Amino acid sequence: MPPVLLTKRIEFAAAHRYIKPEWDEAKNRAVFGPCYNPPAHGHNYMLEVTVSGEVDPKTGMVINLFDLKRVLLTVIEEFDHKHFNLDMSYFNDRIPTSENIARLLWTKLEPQQDIGTLHTVRLYEDEDLYADITAAGGLDVASVTRRYSFTAVQEGNQGHVWDCFVTVHGPIDPVTGMVTDIGALDRLAQERVVKAIDRQGLEQVLGQAVTGDALAKHVWGRLAGSVAGGTLERVRLVQTRDLSFEYSG
């Protein structure tokens, strides 16, 4: 029987700031944007941990959820209600980006024998941004996903809000701690996708009747090759809570 994946979520609160002390203010602001603003900003982080393993024939479980929750609570206790820059020596020489925090959490969780084999660590800053570290990719590579929203109309239907999740994959920059320039990605997505589609009929935008899967491919085409840092990995369009479309070129 192939391994089964089990995912558990847990929340903690912390603050961080993106800053390179050796850079002047102009360069810090150019690279990090609002994340540079002093003194810091906080998040209710959501940590999502996926483990892999065989189903125990006696218990019917991959891992005891009580054990998994206990380990997660023990690990995040060190980080909860902390200022990453000021309170945690881990970030004396690196920036506490989502990618770097997720990577650090991986190193804390991976040795824990009670949780089976670690498969993925996903860290949400909020509903619009999260980072993934995976066993397959290793500690120096991450995926970052950003959410954008627009309103569009399909033929014969009323307009509704589509959520567009754009995922960029690549090495974590050792200087900035980021896979990609989020500010540049935001500008690209707003210009190429949101402004081009928002509050319009999809048939008018594409010049033909369009389905959700065709729209996901269209969005991919408008972004591919233009991402500043990393590689476009996936576009996922959520039409409703029960229906989504995904495209990877």
Q: Which residues are catalytic?
A: 35, 81, 125
| Calpha distance 218→91 (Å, rounded) | 40
Q: Give the span between the Cα atoms of 209 and 111, in whole angstroms.
A: 52
Of 16, 11, 170, 184, the C-alpha closest to 101 is 16
Residue 98 burial by Cβ neighbours in a 10 Å radius (0-12, 13-18, 19+): buried
Question: What does the alpha-carbon distance between residue 172 and residue 140 come to, in Å, rounded to a whole number?
Answer: 6
Which residue type sits at 150?
F
As given in the structure block, the two tokens for residue 41 are 């900003």
DSSP 8-state assignment for residue 40: -
Cα(246)–Cα(13) distance, rounded to whole angstroms? 31
Helices (H), the chain: 25-32, 65-76, 84-87, 98-109, 182-189, 195-197, 202-206, 212-223
Residue 119: count of CB within 10 angstroms of its CB: 17
